[in-house]
Amino acid sequence: MDCTERTISSSLGPIAVRWHPGANGTQHGAVICVGGFDGGFDGPAEGIYADLAEALPEIGIGVLRLDFRIKTSPGPIDDGTFDVLAGVGWLEEQGIERVALIGHSYGGAIVIRAAARSGLVVGTCALSTQTMGIEPDEVRSLAPRPLLLVHGGADWRLPPRLSEWVYSIAGEGRELHILDGATHSLRQRREELWLLLVGWLDRVVPAED
């Protein structure tokens, strides 16, 4: 599948991305994928973002894998949000009008914050999310846009009660899946996670006829 490695220019510095456009010029929309505070392009569950970048363009969904500029622990909330919103703005410049966001761990909080600040975002998915940096009003503002929360039942780094808290304050469009036996990376339930993500994106990103 076509992949363009490039940087997005921003007022805070270049942001590294990998762009996988929809196949054969078909583009229903796109998804931005971000990892945890240590960034990277491949994502949790043994590189599930890389596999999404192979599969989703075939159904007309472009994939923008974005690497954070700053990689420190704890991750900088405002800088991460800026990076994702810069990615949304770049996709808009490409003529894309519907964007979904997926973030893991620190990235889960970041995509919730970014979605609360962009009307172009039509759906948000937080995987094994942290709650530091998330304001309740931001979560509530996402409704009725879809919000998918997925957490490992055996996550000892960030326990599943964090996603349960986000779910408890979210409004219409919320969805929560606790995957029994999965740790923070969700790799133990990778096949189930794959089906959840692909099915959810196929419902959320294309515009209704």
* CATH number of domain containing 87: 3.40.50.1820
Query: Per the structure block, which two tokens stand in for 120?
Result: 């172009």
Residue 2: predicted pLDDT: 72
Domain membership of residue 209 (yes or no) is no
For residue 57, pLDDT over 70 is answered with yes
Residue 207: predicted pLDDT: 82
Domain that holds residue 54: 4-204
Classify the C-alpha dihedral 70-140-145-176 as positive or negative. positive
Query: What gap in Å lies between CA 188 and CA 46, rounded to an integer?
Result: 10
Domain membership of residue 13 (yes or no) is yes
- pLDDT per residue as tens digits for the range 155-180: 999 999 999 999 999 999 999 999 99
Q: How many domains does the chain have?
A: 1
Query: In whole numbers, what is the pLDDT of the chain averaged over residues?
Result: 95
Please tell me the least confidently modeled range out of 10-24, 98-112, 176-190.
10-24
For residue 27, pLDDT over 90 is answered with no
> Residue 64 phi/psi, 5° resolution?
-110, 110
- Give the DSSP per-residue string, 114-133: HHHT-TTEEEEEEES---TT
Residues whose CB falls within 8 Å of the CB of residue 79, separated by 6 or more in sequence, listed in order: 12, 68, 69, 70
- pLDDT per residue as tens digits for the range 95-140: 999 999 999 999 999 999 999 999 999 999 999 999 999 999 999 9
